[in-house]
Amino acid sequence: MVMGATHAMSGAVVGLAVADLLPTDWGGPTSTAETFAFAGVCAGAALLPDLDTTQSTVARSFGPISRTLAAGVDALSLGVYQVTKGRKDPNRRGGHRTLTHTALFAVGLGAGISALVGQFGRPAIIVTLFFTLGLALRGLVGDWARDKGWLVVTGAAAFLSILTWQWFPDQVGSTGLGVAVALGCATHCLGDMITKEGVPFLAPFVPFGGRRWWELRLPSFLAIRAGGGFEKAVLGPALTILAVGLAVWSVDGAPEAITDALRTSVQVTEK
C-alpha cells in the first residue's frame, strides 16, 4: 500500500489536471479558487479507500468518529466480499483492501455524494468538504497533523470546509464534488496497483481463474515496494513537483504570462 502522503499528492495532481478538462455542466471549476478546492477534495478522497481498517492513519484522522466509521466500513466490506467471492477466493477475517479498493466503490461513492448534495444542498456539501479536506490535511501535512492531534485536524477541517463551501454552489457543486471524490478514490486504487500487492479493482464483476476478487497489479519486475526507496526518493518528489507546476498553471492568467515570458526569453536569446 502506497504511503498516505503519496496518495494525497497523487490525488491533488489528478484533481488539478482534470479540473480544467471537466465541463462546467458537470461541476467543472470556473475560477482558480474553485480549481484548488476541487483538487483539495480529490486529494482527501485519495485517502478514503483506506478507511476500511481501524489500523490506518485515515481511521485516526478524526479520533473516535473516524475509528467507528472505519470499523463499520471494514465489516461492510467483509460482508460484501463473503457474499460475492468466487469459488477460489480465500476466506478472509477482515475487509481491508476489498470493497473500497474497487471501481464499484469509487463510482458508487461519487454518485452517492452527488445525489446527497443535490437533495440536501449546503449541509451535505459542508460534510463532504469536512471529511475530504481533513483527510487532505492528514495526507499532505502528515507530520504536522500527527503532532497537533486529531482535535486540531478536526478543527482545521471544519474551518476549511466552511471557507471552501462558497466555491461549491448547490446546483453545480453537487456533480463537481461527486466527480472529485470518485477521481480521488480511483487514483488511490491506481496508486496501490503499482505496488506488489495490487488491488481487486474490477471486483466483483470480472471473474478470472475462479476468483472474483483477484488483484490487478503491474508485473513483478515493474511493481514498486510500498514505502520503499523508489516511492520516497523518486515518486513522491516527482508528484510534488508536478502538483506545484499544475497549481501555478491553474492560476488565472498564469499560462499566458508564462508563455509570454518564454517567448520573450527566446527572442532575447536569438538576438
Confirm if 158 and 178 have CB atoms less than 8 A apart.
no
Q: Name the phi and psi angles at 216, rounded to 5.
A: -90, 125
The pLDDT tens digits for 101-156 are 999 999 999 999 999 988 888 888 888 989 998 898 887 776 666 666 777 777 88
The string of pLDDT tens digits covering residues 37-64 is: 899 999 999 999 999 999 887 888 888 8
Measuring CA to CA, how many Å separate 177 from each of 18, 24, 169, 269?
13, 12, 10, 46
Residue 42 · residue 11 · CB < 8 Å: yes
* Mean pLDDT value across residues 69-81: 96
Residues 158 and 181 sit within 8 Å (Cβ to Cβ): no
Contact in structure between 125 and 166 (CB atoms under 8 Å): no
For 48, 82, 167, 217, the CA distances from 212, given in Å and listed in that order, are: 22, 11, 41, 15
Q: What is the pLDDT of residues 174-233, one digit of tens each?
A: 678 899 999 999 999 999 999 888 999 999 999 999 999 999 999 888 888 877 888 888
Global pTM value: 0.88
Answer whether residue 1 shows pLDDT above 60.
no
